[in-house]
Amino acid sequence: MDESLLADCESTVRVVSVYGVDAANLVLTDTDLSECMFAGAFHLDQIRLEGHCAFGSTPIGLHRVHGVWPYRWTRRRTLAEEHYWRAQTAGQSGNVSSLRRWRTSQHHPDSNLTPDPEDVAALYRQLRKALEDGKNEPGAADFYYGEMEMRRHDRTGTPLGERGLLWAYWLVSGYGLRASRAVAWLAVSMLVTTDDGLRSAAGCS
C-alpha cells in the first residue's frame, strides 16, 4: 500500500474513547489521552500505560472566585471527564478552546450527559491502581488528587461529615501531596504561638 499519505500525519497516537473496551487486554504506549473518555470501559484498573502517555491539565493563569479572590489551579494531570464536569458546573458558555478554561464536551451544557463527581472519582481510583500496579507511584499521585477532589465535591455519594474532613485535608496539605501548604500552615501556627507566648511573657512582667 502507498504510505505517502501518512507522511504528514502526527507521530503521536491519540485515543478519544475506550468505551466498551476490556482494558485488561489493553496496553497504551506513548499515547495522547488528553481527550480520552474512560467511562464505560471494563477492568479499567488493569489497563497498562507505558512510555509517555499525555493527559489533560488544569487551566493556567490566575482566576478569581466570584470575581474577587484570586487563585491558581494546582498543576496536575486530569481526565477529560473532570474537565467536562467542571466546565458544566462553572457555567461555561460555548465550546471555546482555551488553556485558561476547562474543556467542554460535545453535550455541553447538558448536565444529564455530563459525568458526575462520583463517576469521575471511580475512574481516577481505577487508573490510580493501574499506575501503582505498574510501579508508577509518582504518576499515580495526580490521580489520587483527582479522586479526592471529586469526592470532596460529591454531594450525593460522600457524606457531609466526610466532605468536611476532605475540605480540611485539602486546605491544610492538598491531600498530603502539597508540602508547601503544610509548611505554610506550620509557619502560621508557629507565628501565632510565638506571638501569644510573647504577649503572656509581657503580661507577667
- The Cα–Cα gap between 175 and 42 comes to 28
Mean pLDDT calculated for residue range 130-151:
93
CB distance 32 to 15 below 8 Å: yes
Model confidence at 71, in pLDDT bands (50, 70, 90)?
A: confident
Residue 7 pLDDT more than 70? no
Cell numbers 482494558 label which residue? 23
Residue 163 pLDDT more than 70? yes
The pLDDT tens digits for 91-114 are 887 666 788 889 988 888 888 888
Average pLDDT value over all residues in the chain: 85
CB distance 15 to 28 below 8 Å: yes
CB distance 129 to 121 below 8 Å: no
Q: What is each CA distance from 27 to 50, 51, 175, 204, in whole angstroms? A: 7, 10, 30, 70
What is the model's pLDDT at position 91? Answer: 82
How far out from the chain centre does Cα 194 lie? 37
What is the model's pLDDT at position 1? Answer: 58
